[in-house]
Amino acid sequence: MKLEEAHSRAKTLFSASEIKPQKFAGIRGYSDEVIRADTAEVQRLEKKFQQPTSEEEVALSRAKEYGDILEAIAFEHGELSDWFGSNARVIKTSRYDDYINKIDLVVETEAPDHEFSDLALGMDVTFGSFDLHKKFDAIRANIDQGKLGRVKYFLSERPGKIFAGPLDNVPYVVVGVEIERVKELGILWMNKKNRQLGEHPVQRILLQEAALQLKTFADYATRVNQPELAAILNSELTQISALMREKREAGIETITHDNVFDEIKRNLESFNSPN
C-alpha cells in the first residue's frame, strides 16, 4: 500500500462526508463569530500537523495519517459491511470535533422501538504514546465532573427525524489497531476487496476494545457516585455485547494480540486505582 494514495482517498472521503459547521449558521448557540473562531482554530491545528517541526510532531503526523486510513475504512465498512451492526449508521464528525474533542466517528444505532443510541469513537494507531494516555486522562476527568463525550457539531438525518446541535454525554471510547494491521487493511481497501474487509477480524477487536472501556468507565462512574453516567455506559455496553455475540456466531474471527489493544488495557488500569 502506498501511504500517500490511501491517505488521499481517506481525505477525499472525509471531505465529502464530514459534518460542516457552516450548516449550523442560524441555529441557536452557533453564531457566525463562533463558527468563524472554530474554523480558524481547525486551520491552525491542521497547519501544525502539515508542517511538523519536532521529531515528536513528525511521528504524530505520520501516525495520524495511518489513523485517518483506519478511520476511513471503519467509516465506510461500518455500514457497507455492518461492522457496527445492521441498524447502525456511521457519522463522520466535523474537523473541529476531530481535533478539539478527539471524536472521529459517531455510531448511531436504531433500536426496535425506534429509539436511537450513540457511541463516539476516537481512532488511534499508536502505542506507548503520551497522546493516548492524555485521552484516557481526559475521559476520567470528565466522569469525575459528571460528563461523558461531547460533539459540538452533530447532525443526524433519518427519515422523519433530523437533529442538528450539540450531542452531550455520549459514551466515548478510543479504539484502534497497530500500524502493521492498518497497512494490511489499507491494501485490501485500495484493491476494493470488500468481501475480505466484511469478514475481517479487526471489526471484532474494535468491539472488544469498546466493550472493555464501557465496562471500565461504568464501574468507575459507579464508584465516584455518577449513577446517571453509569446507566448510559451500561446501556451502550449491553448493545455492544450483543453485537459481539452476533459476530462470534457469524464466524467472524478475532485478533489474539495487538499492541494498541494492550496499550488501551494498560491505560484502563488507572481507572481501578484510588483517585
What is the mean pLDDT of the segment spanning 240-258?
92
75 is written with which cell numbers?
467509516
Residue pointed to by grid coordinates 457497507? 80
> Which residue from 130, 131, 127 is spatially nearest to 102, judged by alpha carbons?
131
**Backbone torsions φ then ψ of 104, nearest 5 degrees:** -95, -40
The yes-or-no verdict on residue 25 having pLDDT over 80 is yes
Domain residues of the chain, as ranges? 3-267
Band (pLDDT 50/70/90 cuts) for residue 189 is: very high
60 is written with which cell numbers?
504524530
Provide the pLDDT for residue 128: 58
- Count Cβ neighbours within 10 Å for each residue of 126-158 and write b for 16 or more, e otherwise: bbebeebeebbeebbebbeeeebbbbbbbbbee
Does residue 134 sit in helix, strand or coil?
helix
> Which residue from 89, 109, 82, 49 is spatially nearest to 235, judged by alpha carbons?
109
Provide the pLDDT for residue 164: 94
Provide the pLDDT for residue 158: 77
For residue range 192-211, list pLDDT tens digits in order: 999 999 999 999 999 999 99
> Which residue from 47, 90, 49 is spatially nearest to 71, judged by alpha carbons?
90
Provide the pLDDT for residue 199: 95
The yes-or-no verdict on residue 34 having pLDDT over 90 is yes
- Count Cβ neighbours within 10 Å for each residue of 77-116 and write b for 16 or more, e otherwise: bbeebbbbbeebbbbbbbbbbbbebbbbbbbbbbeeeeee
Mean pLDDT for the chain overall: 91
For residue range 150-168, list pLDDT tens digits in order: 999 999 987 777 889 999 9
The yes-or-no verdict on residue 59 having pLDDT over 80 is no
For residue range 122-148, list pLDDT tens digits in order: 887 765 566 788 899 999 999 999 999
